[in-house]
Amino acid sequence: MKQFVFKRTLSGIPTLFGMTLIGFLIIGLTPGDPIEMELRRLGVSFTAEQVEALRVEYGLDKPLIQRYFIWLLDLFRLDLGTSIASGRPVLELFKEHLPITATLSVLAFVSSLALSLVLGTVTAVSQRTSVSTSLYVLTMFLVSVPSFWLALFLLAVFALGLGWFNLLQFGNAQDLILPVITLTLGNAAVMSRLVRERIIAVMSEDYIRLAITKGLSRRAILGRHVFKSILPPLITNWAISFGSLLGGSVIIENIFNLPGLGQLALQAIAERDFAILQAYLLFMGLVFFLANFAADLTNHWLMPQLKEDDHGVR
Amino acid sequence: MNKFKQLLGVSGVLAASLPALISGVPAAQAEDIQQLRIAVKKDRYSVDPKKFNFTTRRPAGQIVETAVKPDENFIPQGVLFETWDYKDGIYSIKLREGIKFHDGQTFDAKAAIDALKLYDQGRSDFLQIDQESFDQTGPYTFTFKSEINSSLVIENMTHRGASLFSINGERAENPIGTGPYLLDSYKPKQSISMKRNADYWGDAPKVENITYHFIADDQVRLLALQNNEVDIVAEVTPQMLLSLPKDGSVVVHESRPIRYVALLTNLHGKAPYDTLKDKRVREALAYAINREQLAQVLFNGKGVVAKGILPDWMFGLGDKHVDGFDYNTQKAEALLDEAGWPKGSDGMRSKDGKPLKLRLVAAYPNVSSVRPMPELLEQMFRGIGIDIELVQVDDSGVYDDTYLATGEADLYMEFASNNNADPTYLLYNLFHSKTPWGYQYTAPGGKLDTILDNARQAQSREEVIELVREAHREIVQTKLAAIPILMVPNFNLSRPGLNIPMFEHADWIDYGQVTQTK
């Protein structure tokens, strides 16, 4: 186990470095000058000399690769840089915005996990019944509709129509209910399809048919054999889902007006706020890396008989 | 108790209505508001000294005030400055007396000089005052010079970003100004609340408390109004106007038309983006636009046909210096024939086997602000045999670097306005060949540069205005660097019964003076 953890950690380091470099290059080569964009937004007159002076002040006059290594050195000192648009340290902004996104994502992840297991199992074990068909159609619908549409629909029905919720956020736990439901429904629908497919595949295996002919109850077969067998691919999928939820909350935060990381990143893209974008990319890379790492560890712990290659470690 | 309250309420209403009943005046009267909630798109509140300048635009503009503000013609009108004079390169200022900062400090010449000196620390010192030139000549009088010998410093002081702070206190946490409101609470990206300044020196505001809610999504801002969670929506897109409920529950407020929709033309492009170097093709485009039809279809029918990109009422410009272009497809077709672009059997034009195809980029400020205008124009231009490649970009960085800076388009559709009291501001920044905004390909250069340079150096306002008229005509009539299409108002939305003192510059709508009709 220790060797596995060591190998996995070692393999992650070049991945993270590579990711930061590619991210830096993509952001740096994206069209749009942050200084000119900010000054023009302010609606004030400025000269080319003023723009150049600001570019020097923010280090934007240096070659891209040099800027990358400066950023990397600062990173080792836990300095993520300063936002051009707000003038505030990026770390401070992350501390402000991360709790909302993390809470939203964790709640949506846990609820979509539970819902997907129920939906996937019901639609798999009771195929060709009206309940199963209805649920299958429902999941197909939820997979197909864009999250912004679902969010606006829920707002129109539950806030505007029924008056159960406010559109404006006041920092209460209640503010998170509709955003969590929106994220949960879309995510659970996608996850439930995988649960369903895996259960159907395992149920057709010879050893399951043997268990059925031996007279084992359906509950026992599902609990003892099917779930144990489908867990490893599901855990890997859940890890990716969690990362996607963190990254995918951008639109939901925008519609529900939640001041989370997604909204911060969206504004940073529009303003070419490089320091925020670079930190956001690094954060998302770390999340995906850690989520996958946790999934591999869990699989290794659950099924130590699986070879390392089965976890993707080479 | 409740019945007692109801009785009191009824008596109050009757008592309030009595004078109106006696005098025969209609019962509808304006009354003050306790709490006004306004939905705006972005959180622009920042007084961070590390930022480019002390941006105190809406909503914090209620807390600190500027020296001057734009009047109804965008000509500076005194606020903290009572009078000013510009002679031989020296500005002489007399302050309004009897004004105090929120902390009780008197706003006198020393405080004003201290406040103006703060701007030299800003990273975009757009006032460009010579810091060594300040000279206090009396308790409420002082003089200063412009670093660049400009006669337009006072005009630039109408920008909310030039609001005057006390040097005492920490600006971000507790901004000390002279304005009608005090900062009550600020939740970044969520809301900012202000309460009435009981000791305000000017006309007392009619609203006790104002809260601005920052709501990024356009449709959610509209839903919040319909759900009675806000009273006013201050940033309104054409899409919101199209999706308004028909039951009268939402009222549209509008200013005079100020925002222009225009096509900027590429005058210096390299092939294949060099077609518009021929003025006849630019004129043909101008004649091919059915502006009346566009005005009826878009912006709730509130747009008007544009002859220029500056409204006639602004700076007292008038509109006699520009003629505009009527809708005349016959003339447009004749111009294209004359330019050597005959029509083929398919109705499309070509010259020496090269089709007449123009790239039209719609991007500024964003595609949703102008849609479906690009598609409608495409149809109109096709009608005279011009093929249009429509490019719609929703990112100003991509627009600037990929299309504007490279000149890789023929036409640039823009929906913008001059929000500056400096009459040269828009024309210089967009059309001078030294434009800092990256419009080198659409700037005619030559004579226009000279006119604009002279305007910026002119030492009297009359001279500036005359030169601006000349520059404006050069741009929209003689050179057709811009083909004007529509002028559009600023819009606000509210529930019925609210009276909003609309103003063309959104930063200067005085929400403290909003009243409720009984």
Q: For residue range B263-282, what is the model confidence (pLDDT) as tens digits? A: 999 999 999 999 999 999 99
Q: Nearest Cβ partner of B189 from A88, A263, A272? A: A263
CA distance B389 to A241: 40
Q: What is the pLDDT of residue B408?
A: 96
Residue A267 to chain B, least CA–CA distance (Å): 9
Q: What is the pLDDT of residue B59?
A: 59
Answer yes or no: do A169 and B52 touch at CB < 8 A. Answer: no
Residue B15 to chain A, least CA–CA distance (Å): 35
Answer yes or no: do B400 and A37 touch at CB < 8 A. Answer: yes
Residue A157 to chain B, least CA–CA distance (Å): 11
pLDDT band at B6 (very low <50, low <70, confident <90, very high): very low
Res B478 pLDDT > 90: yes
Res A291 pLDDT > 90: no
How many residues belong to chain A? 314
Q: What is the pLDDT of residue B124?
A: 60
Reported as a single tens digit per residue, the pLDDT across A24-33 is: 888 888 877 7
Angle value at C-alpha B55, between B50 and B60, nearest 5 degrees: 125
Answer yes or no: do B223 and A86 touch at CB < 8 A. Answer: no
Q: What is the pLDDT of residue B48?
A: 62
Q: Hey, is the C-beta of A96 within 8 angstroms of any chain B C-beta? A: yes
Sheet architecture: strand order including B30-31: B30-31, B515-517, B498-499
Res A159 pLDDT > 80: yes
- Those residues whose C-beta lies under 8 Å from the C-beta of residue B486, and which sit 6 or more positions away, are B257, B260, B261, B291, B294, B295, B298, B299, B303, B304, B305, B306
3-state SS of chain A: helix, strand, coil percent to 5? 80, 0, 20
pLDDT band at B304 (very low <50, low <70, confident <90, very high): very high
Amino acid at B184: D
- Those residues whose C-beta lies under 8 Å from the C-beta of residue B439, and which sit 6 or more positions away, are B264, B404, B429, B430, B431
Answer yes or no: do A88 and B422 touch at CB < 8 A. Answer: no
Q: What is the pLDDT of residue A160?
A: 85
Contact B107, B99 (CB under 8 A): yes
- Kindly report the average pLDDT of chain A as a whole number: 83
Answer yes or no: do B398 and A272 touch at CB < 8 A. Answer: no
Name the token pair of B143. 């003089």
Res A183 pLDDT > 80: yes
Name the residue with higher pLDDT: B60 or A36: A36
Helix (H, G, I), strand (E, B) or coil at B261: strand
pLDDT band at A6 (very low <50, low <70, confident <90, very high): confident
Q: What's the whole-number mean pLDDT along residues B331-347? A: 96
Residue A166 to chain B, least CA–CA distance (Å): 8
How many residues belong to chain B? 518
Answer yes or no: do B223 and A169 touch at CB < 8 A. Answer: no
Res B189 pLDDT > 60: yes
Answer yes or no: do A39 and B398 touch at CB < 8 A. Answer: no
CA distance B53 to B272: 41
Chosen from B41, B74, B189, B400 to mutate, greatest number of chain A CBs within 10 A:
B189
Q: Which residue of A has its CA nearest to B400?
A: A32
Q: Strand runs (DSSP E) across A51-173, as ranges?
A: none
Answer yes or no: do A31 and B397 touch at CB < 8 A. Answer: yes
Q: What is the pLDDT of residue A171?
A: 66
Q: What's the whole-number mean pLDDT along residues B127-139? A: 92
pLDDT band at B328 (very low <50, low <70, confident <90, very high): very high
Chosen from B186, B217, B249 to mutate, greatest number of chain A CBs within 10 A:
B217
Q: Nearest Cβ partner of A257 from B50, B156, B216? A: B216
Q: What is the pLDDT of residue B70?
A: 92
Residues of A in contact with B232 (CB under 8 A): none
Reported as a single tens digit per residue, the pLDDT across B191-207 is: 889 999 999 999 999 99
Res A298 pLDDT > 50: yes
Answer yes or no: do A171 and B220 touch at CB < 8 A. Answer: no
Answer yes or no: do A272 and B437 touch at CB < 8 A. Answer: no
Q: Give the pTM.
A: 0.80
pLDDT band at A305 (very low <50, low <70, confident <90, very high): low
Res A195 pLDDT > 50: yes
Q: Which CATH architecture has domain A94-310?
A: Orthogonal Bundle (1.10)
Q: Hey, is the C-beta of B347 within 8 angstroms of any chain A C-beta? A: no
Q: What is the pLDDT of residue B4?
A: 39
Q: Which residue of B has its CA nearest to A48?
A: B436
Helix (H, G, I), strand (E, B) or coil at B32: coil
Q: What is the pLDDT of residue A306?
A: 60
B 32-71 residues with CB < 8 A to A: 42, 46, 48, 50-53, 55
Lowest mean pLDDT among A223-227, A290-294, B311-315, B384-388: A223-227
Q: Hey, is the C-beta of B365 within 8 angstroms of any chain A C-beta? A: no
Q: Where are the domains of chain A?
A: 2-76, 94-310
pLDDT band at B378 (very low <50, low <70, confident <90, very high): very high
Q: What's the whole-number mean pLDDT along residues A166-183? A: 83
Q: What's the whole-number mean pLDDT along residues A50-79? A: 86
Res B172 pLDDT > 80: no
pLDDT band at B8 (very low <50, low <70, confident <90, very high): very low
Q: Which of A5-9, A42-46, B38-42, B289-293 is the most confident on average?
A: B289-293
For residue B291, what are the CA distances in angstroms to A58, A288, B129, B295?
Answer: 45, 53, 43, 6
Reported as a single tens digit per residue, the pLDDT across B208-242 is: 999 999 888 888 899 899 989 999 999 888 778 88
Q: What's the whole-number mean pLDDT along residues B303-314? A: 94
CA distance B31 to B316: 34
Name the residue with higher pLDDT: B51 or B251: B251
Res B19 pLDDT > 70: no
Res B24 pLDDT > 70: no
Helix (H, G, I), strand (E, B) or coil at A82: strand
Q: Nearest Cβ partner of A160 from B156, B217, B223? A: B223
Residues of A in contact with B42 (CB under 8 A): 267
Lowest mean pLDDT among A156-160, A168-172, A290-294, B187-191: A168-172
- Those residues whose C-beta lies under 8 Å from the C-beta of residue B28, and which sit 6 or more positions away, are B517, B518
Q: What is the pLDDT of residue B12?
A: 43
Residues of B in contact with A46 (CB under 8 A): 124, 126, 436
Residues of A in contact with B402 (CB under 8 A): 31
Residues of A in contact with B216 (CB under 8 A): 254, 257, 263, 266
Q: Hey, is the C-beta of A272 within 8 angstroms of any chain B C-beta? A: yes
Contact B275, B358 (CB under 8 A): yes
Name the residue with higher pLDDT: B93 or B120: B93
Lowest mean pLDDT among A191-195, B4-8, B152-156, B290-294: B4-8
Say which DSSP state B262 is in.
Answer: E
Q: Nearest Cβ partner of B425 from A45, A96, A166? A: A45
Reported as a single tens digit per residue, the pLDDT across A202-235 is: 888 888 888 888 877 777 888 778 887 888 888 8
Res A253 pLDDT > 70: yes
Q: What is the pLDDT of residue B185?
A: 87
Name the residue with higher pLDDT: A133 or B493: B493
For residue B201, what are the CA distances in angstroms to B93, B102, B369?
Answer: 19, 10, 39
A 239-268 residues with CB < 8 A to B: 254-257, 259, 263, 266-267
Measuring CA to CA, which residue among B179, B187, B156, B173 is closest to residue B49? B173
ipTM score here? 0.73
